[in-house]
Amino acid sequence: MTEKLPKTEAHLDLKRDLGIWSAAAIVIGTVIGSGIFLVPNSMVKSVGSPAMVFAVWIAGGILTLFGALSYAELAAALPRAGGEYVYLREAYGPLWGFIYGWTQMWVAKSGSIATLATGFVIYLANFRPELEHTWLIVPLPIGEAGQPLEIRYGQLLAMGVIAVLALINYFGVRVGGDVQVIVTAVKVGLIAMIILIGLGTGHGSASNYHTSIPAAGGITGFFAALVAALWAYDGWNNVSMVASEVKNPQRNLPRALILGTLSVIAIYLLTNFAYFYVLSASAVASTDRVAGEMMRRILGARGAGAVSIAAMISIFAALNGSILSGSRVPFAMARDKLFFRQIAFVHPTHRTPSVSILALSAWAALLVLSGRYDQLYTYVIFASVILYGMATASVIVLRRKRPEMPRPYRTIGYPIVPIVFVLGIVSLVISTLWHSPRESLMGLALIALGLPFYFYWKARAAS
C-alpha cells in the first residue's frame, strides 16, 4: 500500500473532481484520435473485403471490451493515481510498476503526445501549407541519419498546442475534464454527421459491401488487420490513471470504462458502414485518408476539408486526455519515492500534479522538436504490450494474492474474460517479436536503462 507523504513536505492529495461524464469522455476522447480516419485502408489491404474488415473491428472490439471489463475490477478496487502502475506494483512488486512508469514517462506516453500534436498540425497544414516550411536549420548532426536538424513552423505550433493543454490541465482537473467533455462531444457530433452524410445522401450502394480485392487473407491477414484495429482502440485504459480524481470511483470507473468502450465500438462500426457504403474495397485500399475520400466524393473539396477539421478536433481531444491522464503516472511513481521527488508535488490551490504535468508535456514537446518520437515509440511497443497483458492478468493474480481486498465491481465472465484478453496480448507479443525483432530488443534495452535509477531511488527511499 502507498503511504501518504507528510504534509510538512507540502504534499497534498489530489481532488476528486471528475464525474461520470468526464471519466467517460476520457475513454472516448482518448481512444478516438486519427485511427478511425486512416486504418480501414491498411485493414482492407490485409483481409481483402468489407465483411472481413467488420469481422476484425468486432474481434478487436470484443478483445478491447474484455480488457475494459478486467480493468473495471482493478480500477474500482484500487482507485489511485497511476492506473497500470498501481496494478503492476500491487500484483508483482514495485519493480514492475517502475518499469511501466519509466516507459510511459520517457517514451510511450510522451511519444504518443508528440505523435498526436504532430498529427494535429499535419491536418491543419491542409489549410495552412506554410506550416511545412523550414523555420531554422541547426547545423549539428542531430537530425535524421546524422543530418542537420530542420525545425519547421509546424513543429513549433505542435509544441505550442502541447503547452496550451498543459496549462489548461495545470489549473485544475475539473478544467481539464470539462474541456475533455466539450471537445469529445463536438468530436462525436462531427463523426455522427460524417456517418449520416455517408449513409443518408444517396451517393453509395449496398453492393460495395460485397466487393473485394486481392489480399494476404487467412490468419496472417486477419492478425495484421487486428493489430491495426487494436491501435485504433488503444487508449481505453487511460481513465484508470486518474482514478484518484474520479468521484465515487467504485461506481463511476467501471461505468466509464465499459460504457466508453461500448460507445467507441459502436462509433467505429457505424463509421465503417458509411465508408464502405460510399466506397468499394478497392477505393478504400487506394487512399490512406478514407474519410476524406468518402466526403470528397459526396461534397467535393468542402467535404474533404470538413473531415480535416473533424480529425483535428478528434486529435485535440485525444491529446488533452493523454496529458490529463498520462501525467498521473510519473506523479504516482514520485509519491512512492521511485522518481524525482519534485514530480510528487501537488499544487496547493489547483490540487493538480502540476510539476508532473509540466515535466511530461515539456519532454513530449522536446520529442516533437527532435522528430524521433515515432522511432522511440516503435521501440517500446513490444515492452508496452507485455505490460498491458501483465496488468490485465493482475485481476487473476490479486484474486489469489489478496482475496480479502474489497472489490466493488467483479469482472463479468471471470476468469475467461481476462484470460482471453491476455492470450490476445500474447499473440500480439509473438507477432511483434517475429516481425520486428531488432526494434523489440532495442526497446527492452532502452527500458533496461531505467534499472539503475530504480535501484538508486529504492535505496534512497529505504535510507
> Virtual CA dihedral for 178, 307, 201, 39, nearest 10 degrees?
-100
pLDDT at 383: 79
What tens digit of pLDDT does each residue of 345-394 get? 999 999 999 999 999 999 999 988 887 666 666 677 777 888 889 999 99
CA 401 – CA 391 distance, rounded (Å)? 14
pTM (predicted TM-score):
0.89
Q: What pLDDT is recorded for position 347?
A: 93
- Is-contact 44 53, C-beta < 8 A? yes
Residue pair 215/48 in contact (Cβ under 8 Å)? The answer is yes
Q: Which of 321, 292, 385, 424 is nearest to 32 (CA)?
A: 321
State the pLDDT at residue 185. 95
**Rounded Cα distance, 101 and 84, in Å:** 9
Predicted confidence at residue 428, as pLDDT, reads 81
* Cα dist from 256 to 71, 247, 260, 453, whole Å: 11, 12, 5, 35
What pLDDT is stored for residue 455 in this prediction?
95
Q: Which helix (H) or strand (E) holds 135?
A: strand 134-138
Task: State which residues of the chain have pLDDT below 70.
Answer: 1-11, 142-146, 372-378
**Terminal C-alpha separation, the chain:** 19
CATH class in words for 15-462:
mainly alpha
For 150, the 3-state DSSP assignment is strand
179-210 pLDDT tens trace: 999 999 999 999 999 999 999 888 889 999 99
Domain ranges of the chain: 15-462
Q: Is residue 24 within 8 Å of 226, Cβ to Cβ?
A: no
Task: State how far the Cα of 409 lies from the Cα of 297, in Å rounded to an integer.
Answer: 47
Per-residue pLDDT at 11: 57
The letter for the amino acid at 155 is Q
Contacts of 79 (CB under 8 A, 6+ apart): 243, 244, 246, 249, 250, 253
Query: What's residue 7's pLDDT?
Result: 44
CA separation, residue 458 to residues 35, 39, 420 (Å)? 39, 42, 35
Taken in order 453, 375, 441, 112, is the CA torsion positive or negative? positive
Q: pLDDT value at position 6?
A: 41
pLDDT of residue 9: 41
